[in-house]
Amino acid sequence: MTETLHDADSLRALEERARPVRALYDHWERTHWGVSDLDFRVDAASFAGLGAAEQQGFVWIFSHRFHAEFNVARLLAPFLAAAPDYDLELLLATQIADEHKHLQCVLRIYEEVFGVKGGIEAVRALADEHIDPVAAMLYEALERWVLGVDGGGERAFAQAVFSYHLIAEGVIARTAQNLAVGQYESIGAFPGLIEGQRLVARDEARHIGIGVSYLRRRMTEDRDETMAVVTEVLDDFARLAERGLEIGKAELEGILQDGYGVDANAFHAEVMRLLQLRLKSIGYLDEG
């Protein structure tokens, strides 16, 4: 299949099919983009014309975006030292560069669209004011799942990859991205946000592909242990997802509607849909 920048089928293939390390690295080289090339002038004017509730919804979405990019950029570094071979180390190094670029994109949006001055410290302070209990719970769990990667051997590495690449990026972040783009398009002209989101999503499809390719390999090498690792994280995540749904229904329905255009049940349903897809992609569940 010939890949184009807008080819949704190619992105799904990156996320759902194992492929050689060289193919993933070549994709990274082919698809570089620059944060400075994005134009947010129309977006800034559109944001200024929104009502207070819609503006609050945008700021809430981007508090999630900031914390997600900030946390994943910080947590990814220990993976390099723990990588079991050079090929994975190479891919993870490209991913670290991507995540910091995504963070820089978010910082530009805060400054140029929302009008927040003062750099990353000012943005972090504002984002901290808007973090909700579900997001805080998930970030805490991600850090706990990933902590063992340093010196924990390949079992710990596999657990960290499943948690980080498949759950955090492939389920939670992808759910938010899928819903946010539709919201941008429904309430005004936000071409810079939409283009930036498209480019970030393309990068993250490749990141998910790193996890899929590695875990598929581990399934072949030691299926019993890999199944056990995935099951352990899944059991924890299932409890968090149910608790998140309860909190969403009780406390976050209004902000979910303003930020993503859905209620808590719809957000949870998209999480579960993507979770099933990721589990099939690594061979944990049958494709049928």
What's the average model confidence in pLDDT over 19-23?
86
The answer to whether 152 touches 268, Cβ cutoff 8 Å, is: no
pLDDT at 227 over 50: yes
Nearest to 113 by CA among 47, 56, 212, 162: 47
237-242 long-range Cβ contacts below 8 angstroms, 24+ apart? 237/141, 237/167, 237/275, 240/137, 240/138, 240/141, 241/268, 241/271, 241/272
Q: Give the 3-state secondary structure of residue 200.
A: helix
248-253 long-range Cβ contacts below 8 angstroms, 24+ apart? 248/134, 251/132, 251/133, 252/132, 252/134
End-to-end, the C-alpha distance of the chain in Å comes to 23
pLDDT recorded at residue 285: 93
**Binning pLDDT at 50, 70 and 90, where does residue 288 land?**
low
pLDDT at 196 over 60: yes
Q: Which residues of 68-103 are buried (b: 16+ CB within 10 A; e: fewer)?
A: bbbbbbebbebbeebbeeebbebbbbbbeebbbbbb
pLDDT digits (tens, 9 = 90+) for 86-121: 999 999 999 999 999 999 999 999 999 999 999 999
Q: Which of 204 and 6 is assigned the larger pLDDT? A: 204
pLDDT recorded at residue 271: 94
| Total number of residues shown for the chain | 288
Question: How big is the CA angle at 4 (ends 276 and 80), to the nearest 5 degrees?
Answer: 60
pLDDT digits (tens, 9 = 90+) for 129-142: 888 888 889 889 98
How much is the pTM?
Answer: 0.91
Q: Which of 11-20, 171-180, 271-280 has the lowest mean pLDDT?
A: 11-20
Distance CA 203, CA 130 (A): 26
Nearest to 21 by CA among 211, 177, 158: 211
What percent of the chain stands above pLDDT 90?
59
Q: Which of 147 and 212 is assigned the larger pLDDT? A: 212
Distance CA 61, CA 74 (A): 20
Nearest to 268 by CA among 240, 226, 287: 240
pLDDT at 50 over 80: yes
Mean pLDDT of the chain: 89
pLDDT digits (tens, 9 = 90+) for 255-269: 788 778 889 999 999
- The H or E element that residue 284 is part of is none
Which domains does the chain carry? Answer: 34-281 (1.10.620.20)
Residue 288, token pair as written in the block = 């049928």
Alpha helices in 113-190 (DSSP H): 119-130, 133-146, 153-161, 174-187
pLDDT digits (tens, 9 = 90+) for 185-194: 777 799 999 9
Tracing tokens 């948690």 back to the chain, one arrives at 163
pLDDT recorded at residue 7: 62
Distance CA 117, CA 115 (A): 6
Tracing tokens 């190619």 back to the chain, one arrives at 10
pLDDT recorded at residue 6: 45
